Amino acid sequence: MVDHRYLGNSGLKVSEITYGNWVTHGSQVEQLRAIETVRAALEAGITTFDTADVYANGAAESVLGEALASERREGLEIFTKVYFPTGPGGHNDTGLSRKHIMESINGSLRRLQTDYVDLYQAHRFDYETPLEETMQAFADVVRQGKALYIGVSEWTAEQLREGHAMAKELGFQLVSNQPQYSMLWRVIEGKVVPTSEALGISQIVWSPMAQGVLSGKYLPGQPVPDGSRATDEKSGARFIQRFMNDGTLTAVQRLKPVADDAGLTMAQLAIAWVLQNPNIAAALVGASRPEQIASNVAASGVTLDADTMSAIDAALGDTVFDDPEDTYRVSPTSRMV
């Protein structure tokens, strides 16, 4: 079963392995199998589910809502996000304006078939909307009972500090940040994590397996497998390209004996590695088949000893991305419509 951790400086506990449906529900996986996979997650002890209104333009929320409809709502933690273009992509169908936030939360609740979400997240920072407007809208969403907590995704250390201070003034908590983080992508360690620790903000990390690269299925000098994420633009192919070189893929293969010695698969080793960081509340994992869930949850509660952590660093060497400046290049400087 899956262990639980507190989310930020709050009393909310979430499953440290959280089910995310970015590239599966509503697009890559047909609905019946998606629902079966959610059922497998529930049976494995996962109680926390993360989605976003932009995933498959709302369809991912709808599939998740259908899959969870018969569950006891109080036993679940449901997360969603707002920022990216939705609907027909009109001029106000994006960003973190008051209008878009208020309209988006209502749409998300309708698709998710729930009266509230446990965590509502700013999917990126909006450089075109005053932060005061965004945070006041989030405060009102909380006061209306439509979200219990507020989080963000891929915000810089400075943005987290400013947003946290403003949330405190408005009487609600900013409890989480959702960045990319893995053995290969460690850019949050320099500034974001220390700032978050000081503020009482947890990380809910996406792509702990580096879009599947850390599973070892991509081999140096070999064609990528048919139907894999590296071949599918809808499945995040552009994110994986930075890792798809022979140097990185060769280094990843050196992790195989490390995983074997730890009694883990390479994918389990990757998930367990991110969970060693005490600022990580949860690692987001997706699945296209129910049987993948059982393998993923086996990483919960695993403690990697110092020798294993050192062996991982030695295997990956200089293939690791760890420049804190990369955190400043994630949020678009203008809205995407």
Other CB atoms closer than 10 Å to residue 290's CB: what's the count? 17
Catalytic residue among 19, 55, 120, 149: 55
Q: How far apart are CA 178 and CA 274, in angstroms?
A: 13
Closest CA to 126 of 138, 112, 144: 138
Q: How far apart are CA 279 and CA 197, in angstroms?
A: 7
Contact (Cβ atoms closer than 8 angstroms) between residue 174 and residue 10: no
Other CB atoms closer than 10 Å to residue 310's CB: what's the count? 12
Other CB atoms closer than 10 Å to residue 281's CB: what's the count? 29
Q: What is the DSSP string of 112-125?
A: HT-S-EEEEEESS-
Q: What is the DSSP string of 109-159?
A: HHHHT-S-EEEEEESS--TTS-HHHHHHHHHHHHHTTSEEEEEESS--HHH
Q: Is 109 left (phi over 0), alpha (psi -120 to 50) or beta?
A: alpha
Q: Is 116 a catalytic residue?
A: no
2 DSSP 8-state letter: -
Please calculate the CA angle 255-261-263 and round it to the nearest 5 degrees. 100
Contact (Cβ atoms closer than 8 angstroms) between residue 160 and residue 196: yes
Which token pair is 68?
């969870």
Closest CA to 196 of 332, 9, 330: 9
> Which amino acid makes up residue 103?
E
Task: Name the residue with tokens 């299925």.
Answer: 217
**Catalytic residue IDs:** 55
